[in-house]
C-alpha cells in the first residue's frame, strides 16, 4: 500500500500493545497536576509563571499543549512557553496542527516579516486567524527556531476516509469515545454513517503529528506541539501514536491541556493528559447554533 512519507498504517494487532503501554505511561512522568495560570495571565507575571511551571515539568523531548481554539489566553500561554524555552536554548522546533505536514519556516531569518512566515507555512487565515497564532509562530521565528506543519494535508484526508484499517487501531473503548466525541463535536447533526470516516481522519491527523514530532526531536531539547485539546489526549491522541511508533521513548513526552475555568472536564484524569493548566473563564458561546440554523439564545 502506498503511504504518505512518515505515516504509519497499522495492522489489526497494534492497538493492544500501544494501549497497554499508554495505560502505563503516567508512572514514567511527573505526577499528574493541575496548575492555575490565571494569576500569571492577569498581569506581567506570565513569563515567571511559565518558567516555574516548566521547571516542574522537567525536560521532556516532546511537550504537547492542547488548546481551546477560541480562547485568547491559551495562545498567550503558548507564546510564553515558546519564548521561555527559546530563551533557555531548549526549543528544538514548534510543530503546529494549524499548518500541513511538509511546510516549515526553515531558511527564514529571525527578522523575517510576518507575511513571509505566513507564506512559508501556507497559512490559512480563515481557519486559523493569524491574530491568534501569529505571536506564537513569530516567537519561534525570532529565536531562529523552525516552525513546522504537523497536520495531515487535506488531499490525504480525503483518501484516509476510505481506509478501514484505521477502525481497529484503538482499543474498542477508546474508539467508542472517539466516535461519541465526533458526534458531539458536530452537535449531533453528523449522520452516523459519517462517524467512522471522520474518526479515520482524526486518527490519521494525530498520527501525522506524531510522525512530525519524531522527525523534529533531538537530544537535550524540547519539541513543542500546539494543537486542540483532543489531539493531546493520551488515550487516543498524538501521545498514543508516539507510543506506538517509538515505545522506547514513551517516557519522553508530557501533555498539557489548557482548560478555561468553569469548563468540564477539568482534571488531568478526565482530560487524559499529564497536566491541566487553568485559564480565565471565557464567555459562553453556543457553537451549535449554526448547525441548528438559528442564533444563540
Q: Which residue do the cell numbers 494525530 mark?
A: 206
d(CA 94, CA 216): 9
Q: CA 230, CA 280: separation in Å to the nearest integer?
A: 20
Strands (E), 220-284: 222-228, 253-260, 275-279
How far apart, in whole angstroms, are the C-alpha atoms of residue 274 and residue 233? 9
Task: Quote the distance between the C-alpha of residue 132 and its chain's center.
Answer: 16
pLDDT (tens digit, 0 to 9) for every residue of the chain, 297 residues total?
A: 333 333 333 333 333 334 333 433 433 444 579 999 999 998 889 999 999 999 999 999 999 999 999 999 999 999 999 999 999 999 999 999 999 999 999 999 999 999 999 999 999 999 999 999 999 999 999 999 999 999 999 999 999 999 999 999 999 999 999 999 999 999 999 999 999 999 999 999 999 999 999 999 999 999 999 999 999 999 999 999 999 999 998 789 999 999 999 876 678 999 999 999 999 998 877 778 776 664 444
Taking only Cα atoms into account, the Rg of the chain, rounded to an integer number of angstroms, comes to 18
Cell readout for 5 is 512519507
Closest among 58, 65, 71, 51 to 28, alpha carbons compared: 58
Return the domain boundaries, the chain.
14-279
Tell me the C-alpha distance between 240 and 37, whole Å: 27
How far is the C-alpha of 268 from the C-alpha of 274, rounded, in Å?
6
Q: How many CB atoms lie within 10 A of CB 153?
A: 17
Q: List all residues 6 or more positions away from 247 whose beta carbon is below 8 Å from its beta carbon.
A: 17, 18, 21
> How far apart, in whole angstroms, are the C-alpha atoms of residue 190 and residue 82?
37
Report DSSP state, residue 14.
H
Q: Running DSSP on this structure, what letter comes out for residue 252?
A: G
Pairing of β 222-228 and β 33-36: unpaired
> For residues 167 and 229, what is the distance between their CA atoms, to the nearest angstrom?
21
Q: Which CATH class is domain 14-279?
A: alpha beta
Tell me the C-alpha distance between 166 and 202, whole Å: 10
Count how many Cα atoms sit within 13 Å of the Cα of residue 119 in the half-sphere of its side chain. 7
Residue pair 257/275 in contact by the 8 Å Cβ criterion: yes
Amino acid at each position: 500500500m502506498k503511504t504518505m512519507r512518515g505515516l504509519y498504517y497499522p495492522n489489526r494487532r497494534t492497538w493492544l500493545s500501544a494501549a497497554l503501554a499508554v495505560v502505563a505511561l503516567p508512572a514514567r512522568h511527573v505526577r499528574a497536576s493541575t496548575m492555575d495560570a490565571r494569576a500569571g495571565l492577569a498581569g506581567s507575571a506570565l513569563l515567571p509563571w511559565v518558567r516555574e511551571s516548566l521547571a516542574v515539568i522537567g525536560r521532556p523531548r516532546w511537550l504537547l499543549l492542547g488548546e481551546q481554539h477560541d480562547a485568547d489566553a491559551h495562545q498567550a500561554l503558548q507564546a510564553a512557553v515558546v519564548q521561555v524555552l527559546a530563551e533557555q536554548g531548549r526549543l528544538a522546533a514548534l510543530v503546529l496542527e494549524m499548518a500541513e505536514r511538509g511546510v516549515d519556516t526553515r531558511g527564514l531569518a529571525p527578522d523575517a516579516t510576518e507575511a513571509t512566515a505566513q507564506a512559508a507555512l501556507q497559512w490559512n487565515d480563515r481557519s486559523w486567524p493569524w491574530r491568534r497564532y501569529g505571536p506564537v509562530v513569530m516567537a519561534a521565528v525570532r529565536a531562529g527556531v523552525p516552525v513546522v506543519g504537523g497536520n495531515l494535508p487535506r488531499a490525504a484526508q480525503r483518501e484516509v476516509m476510505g481506509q478501514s484499517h484505521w477502525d481497529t487501531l484503538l482499543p474498542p473503548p477508546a474508539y467508542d469515545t472517539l466516535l461519541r466525541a465526533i458526534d458531539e463535536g458536530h452537535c449531533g447533526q453528523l449522520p452516523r454513517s459519517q462517524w467512522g470516516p471522520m474518526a479515520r481522519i482524526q486518527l490519521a491527523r494525530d498520527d501525522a503529528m506524531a510522525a512530525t514530532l519524531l522527525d523534529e526531536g533531538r537530544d537535550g531539547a524540547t519539541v513543542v506541539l500546539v494543537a486542540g485539546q483532543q489531539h493531546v489526549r493520551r488515550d487516543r491522541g498524538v501521545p498514543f501514536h508516539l507510543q506506538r511508533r517509538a515505545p522506547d521513548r514513551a517516557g519522553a513526552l508530557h501533555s498539557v491541556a489548557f482548560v478555561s475555568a468553569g469548563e468540564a472536564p477539568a482534571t488531568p484524569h478526565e482530560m487524559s493528559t499529564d497536566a491541566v493548566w487553568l485559564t480565565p473563564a471565557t464567555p459562553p458561546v453556543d457553537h451549535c447554533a449554526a448547525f441548528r440554523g438559528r442564533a444563540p439564545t
